[in-house]
Amino acid sequence: MGKSKVFMFSGQGSQYYHMGRELYETNLTFQHWMSKMNQIIQQNAGINILEEIYNPAIHRSTVFDKLSYTHPAIFMVEYSLARVCIENGIEPDYVLGASLGEFVSAAITGILSLEKALECLLIQSALIQSDCQPGSMTAIVHNPELYKQTSIIHDHFELAAINYSSHFIISGNYRDELITVEAYLKREGIVFQTLPVRYGFHSANIEPIAREYKKKLSNLTFNHPQIPFISCVSAGSIDDIDSEHFWNVLRQPIDFQKTIQRLEAGNQFVYIDLGPSGTLANFVKRNLTSDSESKVYTILTPFGQDVRTLQKVMESLN
């Protein structure tokens, strides 16, 4: 019996223009689902995601951070890629989402319908853009203990994610605070990267939408997951999922490190990163012990070769 397969879905910060374009042009399944969701979004929000992300006049390296487009675009690419895998006989034994990726997990495992999951993200992005001040998120390549030990960081920002033993993300307000923290990191020679987002997810920066968004979520019905649902908020499997959980997905910190460590303590897996950039695959590799027999696969990256890589993954797993 082979190792259990874990489908992984990443969130904000993993997006870029033209993500998945090669598959969209050549893979009928991917194209079908991308087009279907684009139609749903056009009907509900009046915007065309495909025209934006595959606009030939926009270079791949252009910063892609307008929330009304990035939120649904990330979901669309990840969900479509998951459907490609499933329709080619690669089915998940578990789904694992990080931040926005939990909504993709919810749609794949039947907690929410595809339409309702998209609706949640469209409402969320509209509320954030109307009610929240600009914010920022910065990935720091250092021991997460630095956050607790350094007042210049924890006084200005919240801990948004711990991804592995030398990688964490801070989140919060913008401008002066960010300049102060980045100046400190530069002085100390600490590597960091400001993520392509306009808001501080997993921080008080998004608190202004709490009441209205929770109200919208409370109107939804959440089904029992048909596939084990691994949350990076709780760092484990969840069976009973309610509206409060999906507020916590947006507001509470992500503990990817603990999530993978808990999974690995009980078994070994095939991790398949279905995000646009292979971000979670890189994080998993950093969390595996030297004696782990788990395997990690990436399909999409900003560097292309997506069709060729997909074929290799299919051959390896079928």
Could you list the active site residues?
A: 99
Contact criterion met (CB below 8 Å) for 198 and 67? yes
Cα–Cα distance, 238 to 231 (Å, whole number): 7
Cα–Cα distance, 71 to 67 (Å, whole number): 6
Identify the CA nearest to 68 among candidates 47, 43, 88: 47
Cα–Cα distance, 47 to 137 (Å, whole number): 26
The three state secondary structure string of the chain is CCCEEEEEECCCCCCCCCCCHHHHHHCHHHHHHHHHHHHHHHHHHCCCHHHHHCCCCCCCCCCCCCHHHHHHHHHHHHHHHHHHHHHCCCCCCEEEECCCHHHHHHHHCCCCCHHHHHHHHHHHHHHHHHHCCCEEEEEECCCCHHHHHCHHHHCCEEEEEEEECCEEEEEEECCHHHHHHHHHHHHHCCCEEECCCCCCCCCHHHHHHHHHHHHHHHCCCCCCCCCCEEECCCCEEECCCCHHHHHHHHHCCEEHHHHHHHHHHHCCEEEEECCCCCHHHHHHHHHCCCCCCCEEEECCCCCCCHHHHHHHHHHHHC
Contact criterion met (CB below 8 Å) for 275 and 78? yes
